[in-house]
């Protein structure tokens, strides 16, 4: 996410200089080699920037915000985390007006600097939360950056965002991990390789996502994710019962109802 953001800033000529920071030295070296950033700085260097983008796991965002408590009132901080309520609640009060809570609805199952692509954000949705708590300098700056990246902006409250994200983003990841584990526990690698076709590959693709990142997301948004999983379990139980009972008409009606989703999409 961070590397792609750097590439997009460069491609759209939005930033004069991009300074990167990562606790992983290999990632720092790759970021320079791939021209994702112009230089690598320490945390004090990052604090002197006009805009700070936090593209780290969501628990790391909270930690970083507490390390940024002494930034200038003119410095804008934008996070790219997939959860919002806990992050907003834990932002230090003295920099709350600086901090713009954002969730770009974009990403790949691969992670790290080598996965960066310049058009990851183009034509995607970005959700901005609780902007009424921001100074206009910072909310306007964030809106301008995301607009110049070609993103479509949606505004929500943080708690509202987290409930929607649980159903539309977080639950599908949980299902993909569950599907991958279910198959791995029942099938040998040769059978998987021989029989895995488009449907299985599509549904299991996001199970390649970073476990470190998604553990934080699931636990930060646990109440909403549990609710979403329980809702999914009810639908799966319906399917199980209709198949067990050879209820052909009900099964078809259930699937036709699901087809309606793509009239929205």
Are 255 and 196 in a shared domain? Answer: yes
Q: How confident is the model at residue 185, as a pLDDT?
A: 80
Residue 134: both structure tokens together: 């921001």
Residue 190 pLDDT level (bands cut at 50, 70, 90) = low
Residue 227 has pLDDT above 90, yes or no: yes
Share of the chain above pLDDT 90, in %: 74
Are 118 and 210 in a shared domain? Answer: no
Give the count of domains, the chain. Answer: 2
Q: How confident is the model at residue 204, as a pLDDT?
A: 82
Residue 4 has pLDDT above 90, yes or no: yes
CATH (domain of 245): 1.10.3660.10
Q: Can you state the angle between helices 158-165 and 222-244, rounded to 10 degrees? A: 30
Are 134 and 17 in a shared domain? Answer: yes
Give the C-alpha distances (Å, rounded to integers) separating 103 from 69, 128, 154, 156, 159.
22, 7, 10, 11, 13
Are 115 and 147 in a shared domain? Answer: yes
Q: How confident is the model at residue 265, as a pLDDT?
A: 66
CATH (domain of 47): 3.40.50.720
Share of the chain above pLDDT 70, in %: 95
Are 114 and 43 in a shared domain? Answer: yes
CA proximity to 104, closest of 23, 197, 5, 16: 5
Last residue of a domain, one of 104, 123, 156: 156
Are 10 and 51 in a shared domain? Answer: yes
The contacts of residue 32 (CB under 8 Å, 6+ apart) are: 20, 39, 40
Last residue of a domain, one of 156, 176, 204: 156
Are 145 and 212 in a shared domain? Answer: no
Are 22 and 147 in a shared domain? Answer: yes
Are 136 and 169 in a shared domain? Answer: no
Domain that holds residue 136: 2-156
Q: Kindly report the pTM of this predicted structure.
A: 0.87
Are 143 and 198 in a shared domain? Answer: no
Are 251 and 138 in a shared domain? Answer: no
Residue 172 has pLDDT above 90, yes or no: yes
H/E element holding 163? helix 158-165
Q: What is the mean pLDDT of the chain?
A: 92
Q: How confident is the model at residue 126, as a pLDDT?
A: 97
Q: How confident is the model at residue 187, as a pLDDT?
A: 63
Question: DSSP code of 118?
Answer: T
CA 162 – CA 225 distance, rounded (Å): 9
CA 230 – CA 227 distance, rounded (Å): 5
Digit-coded pLDDT (tens) for 74-117: 999 999 999 999 999 999 999 999 999 999 998 776 778 998 99
Last residue of a domain, one of 117, 133, 156: 156
Are 146 and 24 in a shared domain? Answer: yes
């Amino acid at each position: 996410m961070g590397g792609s953001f750097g590439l997009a800033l460069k491609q759209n000529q939005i930033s004069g200089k991009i300074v990167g920071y990562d606790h992983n030295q290999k990632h720092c070296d790759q970021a320079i080699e791939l021209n994702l950033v112009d230089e690598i700085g320490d945390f004090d260097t990052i604090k002197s920037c006009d805009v700070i983008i936090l593209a780290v796991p969501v628990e790391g965002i909270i930690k970083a915000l507490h390390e940024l408590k002494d930034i200038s009132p003119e410095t804008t901080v934008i996070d790219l985390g997939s959860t919002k309520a806990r992050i907003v609640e834990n932002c230090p009060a003295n920099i709350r007006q600086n901090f713009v809570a954002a969730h770009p609805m974009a990403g790949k199952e691969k992670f790290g600097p080598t996965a960066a692509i310049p058009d990851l954000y183009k034509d995607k949705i970005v959700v901005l939360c609780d902007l009424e708590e921001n100074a206009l300098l910072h909310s306007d700056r964030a809106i301008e950056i995301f607009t110049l990246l070609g993103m479509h902006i949606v505004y929500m409250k943080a708690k509202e965002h987290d409930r929607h994200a649980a159903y539309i983003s977080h639950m599908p990841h949980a299902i993909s991990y569950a599907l991958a584990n279910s198959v791995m526990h029942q099938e040998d690698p040769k059978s998987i390789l021989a029989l895995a076709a488009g449907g299985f590959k599509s549904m299991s693709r996001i199970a390649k996502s970073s476990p470190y990142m998604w553990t934080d997301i699931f636990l930060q948004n646990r109440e909403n994710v549990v609710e979403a999983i329980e809702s999914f379990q009810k639908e799966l139980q319906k399917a199980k019962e209709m198949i067990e009972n050879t209820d052909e008409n009900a099964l078809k009606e259930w699937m036709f109802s699901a087809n309606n989703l793509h009239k929205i999409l």
